[in-house]
Amino acid sequence: MTQDAVVLDGRWKGYPLAAAPCAIERIGAQGWNLHRGDLPYPIAVLDAEALEHNLRWMQAFAQSYGIVFAPHGKTTMSQQIFRRQLDAGAWGLTFATVWQASVGIRAGARRVIIANQVVADADFDGLAALLDAHADLRVWFLVDSVAQVERIEHWAQRRNRQTPFDCLLEIGVAGQRTGCRTGQQALALAQRIHDSSALRLGGIECYEGGLAACDLHGDQAAVTTFLDAVRDIAQDCDRAGLFEDEKIILSAGGSAVFDVVAPALRAAVSRPLRGVLRSGCYIAHDHGFYADFLRNIETRAGLDDSLRPALSVWAMVQSVPEPGLALLGCGKRDISFDLSLPQPIRLAPCGATVDAPAPDGWSVTALNDHHAYLRFDPAGPAPVVGDRVALGISHPCTTFDKWAWMPLLGGQGDVVGAITIEF
């Protein structure tokens, strides 16, 4: 069953308890408006116009560099968004686990990169079942050790599986995440994969994000040096005849420094090369971590237009217990806090049907499970009980995973649609 067939009701966090059950595709026809009080608080919402802009903008960016786009689905885990990404021209989708990949496949993806190692029997069983159920499906997962290859071979022997899995050789960074640490190690592992009947080597993959420190010129230098080394490994593997597909995949992440990654996904090899960009957070962007990186991207690339923040969480002022402190009904159960605390961005005063920028100097200084501590200058504009405050976030992934659905907002707070989320 696709998520478009889901019926929402009061069991879904953020759905109005007094409203009748409603099919997800009919949410936009209910005439709801955020500022009229039709939805309970807190509520995570997506700006429909910004979402569509980001969808089209990043697809066009990838195409301008002659590469393909396989956006990372773990950001949203929304079938509605997956289909929009595919309809906009995405070559495929990226995921972190076999289970996540199954959601994307149900949404229609037929090229999938699992940007992670697969090592568990149950995951091999699940992946084999997915491939058997969809004759037109291709899935590549990452391999970075002989031990992993041996686990795969042992599984294939016990299951009498004759069809090899597609894989990508992962190149990593010392002291950081997964991946081969040296070119010598990578070439030896590529040879081992080539010699295995359980695997088929399709290309090279890396994740460069850990090298980026939001330094305008330093990020470019560090990431370029790493990607040059990755490209050298791809060429070495090609010269050794270790790739086994018609086109060689060269793939990197690219959420924080996609302007540096995109031009590096090219290499002189003996057969056609497919550069694959895997940015994920672009779809909702943010008001903090990625916004800071984007300013550097805009400077380096000379961009006049780029991504826009689409995701926010609205909360109500429920108490002003002392001068300079207000408590919002929103906390760690509702909004991301892993990279930085949320920040007030919009204010809809109690009873108002329009919103405006939040006053300067307002800040969230702490979160409990269900409370946000809003600090303000008692001599300046002060919130009152019943005010609505929109909070901007850093790192959209860890806000999406706190909700099972989100309304899409048009102008003036009108609810024009909705998505469902599967985490």
Plot region of 416 (φ>0 → left; ψ -120 to 50 → alpha; else → beta): alpha
DSSP element (H, E) containing 192: helix 183-195
pTM for this model (two decimals): 0.97
φ, ψ of residue 321 in degrees (nearest 5):
-75, -15
**Per-residue pLDDT, 5:** 85
Question: Could you tell me whether strands 372-375 and 325-328 are parallel, antiparallel, or unpaired per DSSP bridges?
Answer: antiparallel
Which residues have CB under 8 Å from 267's CB, separation 6+?
231, 234, 235, 250, 273
**Per-residue pLDDT, 1:** 55
For 173-201, b/e burial (b = at least 16 CB within 10 A) is beeeebbbeeeebbbebbebbbebebbbb
For 221-236, b/e burial (b = at least 16 CB within 10 A) is ebbbebbebbbebbbb
Tell me the CA end-to-end span of the chain in Å, nearest whole number.
16
φ, ψ of residue 112 in degrees (nearest 5):
-135, 130
Which residues have CB under 8 Å from 216's CB, separation 6+?
296, 299, 300
C-alpha distance from residue 198 to each of 119, 122, 165, 274, 412 (Å): 13, 16, 6, 23, 56
3-class DSSP assignment, residue 84: helix
**Residues 55, 284: contact at Cβ < 8 Å?**
no
Q: Render pLDDT for 142-153 as a digit per residue (tens, 0 to 9).
A: 999 999 999 999
Q: Render pLDDT for 288-323 as a digit per residue (tens, 0 to 9).
A: 999 999 999 999 999 999 999 999 999 999 999 999
Which residues have CB under 8 Å from 78's CB, separation 6+?
3, 400, 419, 420, 421, 422
What's the half-sphere exposure (Cβ side, CA atoms, 13 Å) at 17?
A: 2
DSSP code of 324?
A: T
φ, ψ of residue 306 in degrees (nearest 5):
-155, -145
Which residues have CB under 8 Å from 141's CB, separation 6+?
113, 114, 116, 117, 118, 127, 165, 166, 167, 168
- Helix axis angle for 48-64 and 79-87, nearest 10°, is 40
pLDDT in tens, the chain (423 residues): 566 689 999 999 999 999 999 999 999 999 999 999 999 999 999 999 999 999 999 999 999 999 999 999 999 999 999 999 999 999 999 999 999 999 999 999 999 999 999 999 999 999 999 999 999 999 999 999 999 999 999 999 999 999 999 999 999 999 999 999 999 999 999 999 999 999 999 999 999 999 999 999 999 999 999 999 999 999 999 999 999 999 999 999 999 999 999 999 999 999 999 999 999 999 999 999 999 999 999 999 999 999 999 999 999 999 999 999 999 999 999 999 999 999 999 999 999 999 999 999 999 999 999 999 999 999 999 999 999 999 999 999 999 999 999 999 998 999 999 999 999
Name the residue among 351, 215, 229 with its Cα closest to residue 292. Answer: 215
Question: Could you tell me whether strands 165-171 and 199-206 are parallel, antiparallel, or unpaired per DSSP bridges?
Answer: parallel
**Per-residue pLDDT, 327:** 98
Q: How many CB atoms lie within 10 A of CB 241?
A: 10
Spatial distance between the Cα atoms of 119 and 79, rounded to a whole number of angstroms: 26
